[in-house]
Amino acid sequence: MHRVEQFFGHLTARVDADELALAERILPASAWPLFVAMPVADRRHALDVAQRLMAARIDDSDLLCAALLHDAGKGRRLRLWHRVIGVLLEALAPRLLARLAGGDLSERNPYYLHMHHADLSAEAALRAGCSQRTAAFIRGRPSSADADLAAALHEADEAS
């Protein structure tokens, strides 16, 4: 049921001016263009994740940056139908997904983007001036000291 809600949320995604202002306050100025370049559905999802963290009284600036940019690597080539197929294949036929992703190891291949968006997002965040710690949260490979925060990010991401 959660995936169905995500699907319809993707179709109806909106972001208002107050939410954009929140993201602009959280992100380093150099990372703002990366955030606004994301499709509106990804910005909506990112804001939902960040707002869940803040509602849980988590205000770590690197973690909130990671929440806002964790899907930036998906870009505009990963269309909704690619996302649906990717999620289904991840659950039902991961080897087929890997085969689809493996032929063209570039951002032109939407299944490559689906499988590797965390690393691509982390690299984009670093290029945009975010910290190594933010990139580690995005990759899902934080330091052991940050394991609880990473778990909170993962939980907020899954719930959004």
Q: pLDDT tens, 123-149?
A: 999 999 999 999 999 999 999 999 999
Does the structure show a pLDDT above 60 at 60? Answer: yes
3-state secondary structure of 1: coil
Distance between CA 1 and CA 78 in Å, rounded? 22
Residue 6, pLDDT score: 57
Q: Give per-residue pLDDT as tens, 13-39.
A: 679 999 999 999 999 999 999 999 999
The answer to whether residues 87 and 115 touch, using CB atoms and an 8 Å cutoff, is no
Domain residue ranges of the chain, discontinuous segments joined by +: 2-159
pLDDT for the residue numbered 8:
47
pLDDT at 112: 81
Residue 7 pLDDT: 52
Kindly report the number of other CB atoms within 10 A of residue 124's CB atom. 21
Q: Residue 72's pLDDT is what?
A: 94
Output the average pLDDT for the chain. Answer: 87
Report whether 83 contacts 13 (CB < 8 A): no
- Render pLDDT for 72-103 as a digit per residue (tens, 0 to 9): 988 777 677 676 777 787 888 888 778 887 76
Q: Select the more confidently predicted residue: 86 or 71.
A: 71
Q: Greatest CA separation found in the chain?
A: 43
The CA R_g of the chain, rounded to the nearest whole Å, is: 15
